[in-house]
């Protein structure tokens, strides 16, 4: 796998302008070229995620269980596709506060 500092690898910052789906697509293309197993995909992905987002990823069951398919689905649920009017939906904020309260 290329270094996380390489400009040729995907990097997820959590910023609204860079949707999670785009990152996951690029990451999967990279790891498939490298022949990584689903278990290794989970172990390696955290290297390409901004430090500010890592605690979220590491708390998800898919990451804990090292299950790439579950982690992929959980990440798509965790990160919102924001509208042009707001960054986060009200329901997503309510769900987040209920989950972590």
| Number of domain units in the chain | 1
Asked whether the beta carbons of 3 and 9 are under 8 A apart, the reply is yes
Q: Convert the pLDDT of each residue in 56-80 to its tens digit.
A: 899 999 999 999 999 999 998 888 6
pLDDT above 90 coverage of the chain, percent: 47
Is pLDDT at 29 greater than 90 in this prediction? yes
Residue at 30 is within a domain: yes
Residue at 65 is within a domain: yes
Residue at 62 is within a domain: yes
| pTM of the shown model | 0.71
What is the structure's pLDDT at 17?
A: 74
Residue at 54 is within a domain: yes
What is the structure's pLDDT at 28?
A: 94
Residue at 69 is within a domain: yes
Residue at 8 is within a domain: no
Range of the domain at 60: 20-100
The alpha carbon of 33 is separated from its chain's Cα centroid by a whole number of angstroms, namely: 19
């Amino acid at each position: 796998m290329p270094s996380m500092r390489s400009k040729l690898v995907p990097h997820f910052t959590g910023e609204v302008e860079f949707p999670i789906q785009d990152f996951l697509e690029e990451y999967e293309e990279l790891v498939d070229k490298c022949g990584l197993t689903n278990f290794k995909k989970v172990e390696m992905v955290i290297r390409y995620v901004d430090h500010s987002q890592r605690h979220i990823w590491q708390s998800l069951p898919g990451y804990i269980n090292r299950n790439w398919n579950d982690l992929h689905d959980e990440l798509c649920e965790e990160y919102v596709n924001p509208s042009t009017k707001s960054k986060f939906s009200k329901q997503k904020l309510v769900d987040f506060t209920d989950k972590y309260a």
